[in-house]
Amino acid sequence: MNKDKRYEIFSRLRDDNPHPTTELNFNSTFELLIAVILSAQATDKSVNIATAKLFPVANTPEAIHQLGEEGLKKYIKTIGLFNSKASNIIKTCRILIDEHHSQVPDDQNKLEALPGVGRKTANVVRNTAFGHAAMAVDTHIFRVSNRTRIAPGKTVLEVEKKLLRFIPKEFLVDAHHWLILLGRYTCIARKPRCGSCIIEDLCEYRDKNYGDLEK
């Protein structure tokens, strides 16, 4: 795929959605961090349902830490892997209190040092909360990047590096959200909805599916 085609792809995505953001509900950087930790192997919808009950009760490192693991589990038990997530979140709150004055650090290494926070989670926080051109490659972005040939790669890290290298700079900050939304609602896993995709004519996927038009 050449640079002109990539530029047109992201121009269309921007025109269609000028101000994209995460579908996780949050009102602070700390709430975002907790929501993203909870979202691992879970849907945004399930996380939003849980945090709608949790955050009015506890939405600071001190308040969640005071709940303790068992107290926290009561709010997140409907989310997959809630036992390990509760343990990680309590540990993360302790570190934020002791080492970061209860603030979420704007630093990749410091974020990745928090329990339950890997490279992808750190990138989401740095992109969404702090406005960095960070690319959090999840299953949706990995699929879209390879199907369209925007940034094909065999590993998550390879795709991440190619996206940061190939996407025109003016689109980098928002590209993460556009690609996730495209993969979540249009370029879905089994039967991509090519007929209703705004970049279908630019996409280099060989096995396009137009079943969404046969209704």
The CATH number of the domain holding residue 12 is 1.10.1670.10
**Catalytic hit among 16, 107, 138, 215:** 138
Q: What percent of the chain has pLDDT over 70?
A: 98
173 residue type, one letter: V
**How far is C-alpha 213 from the geometric centre of its chain's CA atoms?**
29
Q: Establish whether 4 is a catalytic residue.
A: no
**Which of 120, 162, 174, 215 is flagged as catalytic?**
120
Range of the domain at 163: 3-20+136-213
Which DSSP letter does residue 198 get? T
210 confidence band (pLDDT: 50, 70, 90):
confident
pLDDT (tens digit per residue) in 24-56: 999 999 999 999 999 988 999 999 999 999 999
Q: Does the active-site annotation cover 120?
A: yes
User: How far is the C-alpha of 215 from the C-alpha of 199, rounded, in Å?
Assistant: 21
> What CATH code is carried by the domain that includes residue 62?
1.10.340.30
Length of the chain: 215
- Are 89 and 146 members of one domain? no
For residue 131, what pLDDT band results from cuts at 50, 70 and 90? very high
In the structure, what pLDDT confidence band is assigned to residue 215 with cuts at 50, 70 and 90?
very low
Provide the domain count of the chain. Answer: 2
What pLDDT is recorded for position 213?
66
Structure token pair of residue 181: 């939304």
What pLDDT, on a 0 to 100 scale, did the predictor assign at position 214?
56
